[in-house]
Structure 1
Amino acid sequence: MSNTLYEAHPSVLRMRPFGVLFALVLIAGGILVAVLGDQLLPPQFTGQVDGRILQMIGIGVFALATLQLLGWWVSARADRLVITEDELIWTHGLLSKEYTEINMASVRTVRVSQSLFQRIMNAGDVTVFTAGDNPELFVRGLPDPTAVRELVKAQPQAGG
């Protein structure tokens, strides 16, 4: 069996930094509202709003933000890219799995795309082309995508 040169899951924090930050703020705010309730209201609204309703709203905000973060995390953990000396192996799925194996010798081009925020977070999208114009593999949000490109370029290619 070949040595593993690279193994990574897409990164939630690196791909959605503002979404994760916003969800964490909502979680903290939900806890604050659920615990303190009507103590957060100005004095003129104290008698008009029921504290139990505020607690339910806080719990609801907390639950929704937590579920969103959990969904992003599970989605990222369900995907994995492994690069060995001989092949690229992309695994996708949680309950049902989809495997894509590409022989390293058949890789023609590796394209790395990074937005400004992806560059800051050292993440990016990797596209692998073999034969033809359509990509064989497209992976979003990998940490250190230039390492993927360099690892593939360093491997012996077909006819070389």
Structure 2
Amino acid sequence: MRRTLATTAALALSFTGLSMATAPGAFAAPEAAAEYGCPGTLIDTYNTPATGEVWAQLRLYYSSANGGTNCAVLLAKKYYGTTHYMEVGINISGSSNNKLDYGAYKYYAGPVSVTSTNGHCIDLSGAEDNGGVWAGRSLNRVHCG
């Protein structure tokens, strides 16, 4: 009976466009890009470690639209649900046209995207600050294609 009620509640929420809340620190990170505003599908994930812990995860999506579109978001993990500084950036390697999103967020920063990426590599970065302690990661010349 309990399982039936839980299933019914989950279905009711999905039909209304709502979702069930996750516990603090939970990693609510679906592979569907639409929830974060990115076109395409998930092609890679990169953890952003600090002090031996994973604070967040950079997620990279790709769509063949517009000559290739790469899109990124930075999802909070350690401080999920707590407002803190987050930033995510993406650009075509060698370009000075960096797309950046930053601010005080609870769940994720982004999306940021670049188009015409077919035949090019991309640079990707993400960082968080909580109380003066930084966690971040920069990747250069990844997903060349």
Higher helix share: 1
- Structure 1 length-normalised TM: 0.26
**Structure with more relative contact order (C-alpha pairs < 8 Å, separation 6 or more):** 1
Higher strand share: 2
Computing the radius of gyration from Cα coordinates, the structure with the larger value is 1
- Structure 2 length-normalised TM: 0.28
